[in-house]
Structure 1
Amino acid sequence: MARLTKAHLRYLEHHGIDVDETFDASGLKRAEYRPRMKAEGKFVAYGVTKCHNGHSLRNRYGTCIECFPASIAFARRSEMSGYLYLAKSADLGLIKVGFSGDDPDNRIYIANLEGYGGAWDWQICLTVWADHAGAKEIAVHQSLADFRAERAWIRNGAGIVSREMFDCELAAGIDALMSQLTAREVQLIEYR
């Protein structure tokens, strides 16, 4: 049995992670602690093999959260409720599957200002409020992986490759999204 050190506790507090969200993974491999953490709603494993920098706090995917603090926000995102949306660019002939914690219309407004994926004509076709929306977005992306249409574009002077665009019919995107929703969430879908 491992213990959280004072340094661990300070790090967790600094990043807004409650001690109740931690999991003692002593003696377990990632393949063993990951499903248990998910089932128990745990976020950070301790008592794990130290990373190459000597840290011993990892997320449920095995990433060192001290070396890669951005992984905290990414992992938190998957647990968040929010809006899932499907948008379409007529110019590119592609759909975009996205997530917004509060305002999908603003998200698309910004996508159009920035020319997301090389398009300035994104229009929302569907929105739905869902629990664990970030995780559902990832699941939809995975189910549409054969249609992924990565496009390089420039954002704030830096090159970016989009990963949320798909070269498929809108109906295929809707089907993929609906397969991730609960019956209650399906009733909340708003088509535009």
Structure 2
Amino acid sequence: MKGLSQEQLEFLKKHNVPLEKVFDAKGFSKSYYYIQMKQQGKVVAFNVTPCKRGNHTLRTRNGHCIQCDTKHLEFQKRNDYSGIIYIAGSKNGKVLKVGYSKGIEIRSESLNRTKYAGLNDWEFIFVIFSSTAGSLEPKIKFKLNEYSRAFNYEHDNKLQDAEEVYSCSINKAKAILIAVCKEYYHDYEIKKDYDGTEYNFRRLKKL
């Protein structure tokens, strides 16, 4: 692509960024190329103002240098990922877990194998697919934050913090998930639904 150096091309290849996801921002302000990139589904801008730290000219839509810190790139890529948002339930713990995954089977097996939050009876009870699942996930977690619970569990001989665990009913969690999809115009398709009562746990808000 014209305007990209060999070093930049190699960097993009190394980090699995196809050229069709790259935007030529020459002559554009950050506010303008942000809008254009968002509309076109672009991940990386080039021909931007060089960063102060390394004089690099590859940035995310939000203007972060991806060559100084690749975490900005990974965060941007994940936000654009399609996938599933799931609600899993544990009857033993009387809690729900909300998360993002590329595949239902792989993630549900992993939750029980690793005894996530110290529990091994996780079941996927409500699942949606969205083309923007990566950016949908943090919005759901924000809305559910008042019901969040803190759990520690051992994994790989290390004490881990269990995130994304909530004390509320499946009906409440489902309603919040669908409401967020509609509020922020996320497309979604229900892949697995649940209309029983076994996972309608008591709602406990954080103090």
TM-score of the superposition, structure 2-length normalised? 0.74
Superposed CA offset, 1:59-97 (max 9, x none) = 224443223334434432332332221011233332111
1:94–1:168 CA contact under 8 A, matched in 2: yes
1:114–1:155 CA contact under 8 A, matched in 2: yes
Residue 97 (1) aligns with residue 61 (2) = no
Cα distance in 1 for residues equivalent to 2:135 and 2:99 = 11
Residue 133 of structure 2 corresponds to 133
Offset at 1:144?
A: 1.6
Residue 115 of structure 1 corresponds to 115
Cα distance in 2 for residues equivalent to 1:128 and 1:134 = 12
Residue 16 of structure 1 corresponds to 16
Q: Equivalent residues in 2 for 1:1-192 (5 A)?
A: 3-23=3-23, 24=25, 28-29=29-30, 33-46=33-46, 47-50=48-51, 52-102=53-103, 104-179=104-179, 180=181, 185-186=188-189, 188-191=191-194
Change (3 A) 1:140 1:51: farther
Change (3 A) 1:183 1:160: closer
- RMSD across aligned positions (CA): 3.0
Change (3 A) 1:184 1:18: closer
Cα distance in 2 for residues equivalent to 1:28 and 1:157 = 49
Provide the secondary structure at the position in 1 that maps to 2:53. coil
Q: Which amino acid aligns with 1:153?
A: Y
Cα distance in 2 for residues equivalent to 1:152 and 1:34 = 39
Change (3 A) 1:60 1:145: farther
Offset at 1:133?
A: 1.9
Offset at 1:174?
A: 0.2
- Structure 2 stretches lacking a partner, 5+ long: 196-207
Q: Which amino acid aligns with 1:87?
A: A
1:51–1:64 CA contact under 8 A, matched in 2: no
Cα distance in 2 for residues equivalent to 1:105 and 1:75 = 25
Change (3 A) 1:93 1:53: farther
Offset at 1:188?
A: 4.3
Percent sequence identity is 24
Q: Which amino acid aligns with 2:81?
A: M
- Structure 1 stretches lacking a partner, 5+ long: none
Provide the secondary structure at the position in 2 that maps to 1:144. helix
Cα distance in 2 for residues equivalent to 1:116 and 1:25 = 47
Cα distance in 1 for residues equivalent to 2:37 and 2:66 = 15
Provide the secondary structure at the position in 2 that maps to 1:120. coil
Q: Which amino acid aligns with 2:133?
A: A
Cα distance in 2 for residues equivalent to 1:123 and 1:112 = 9
Say how many residue pairs are matched. 189
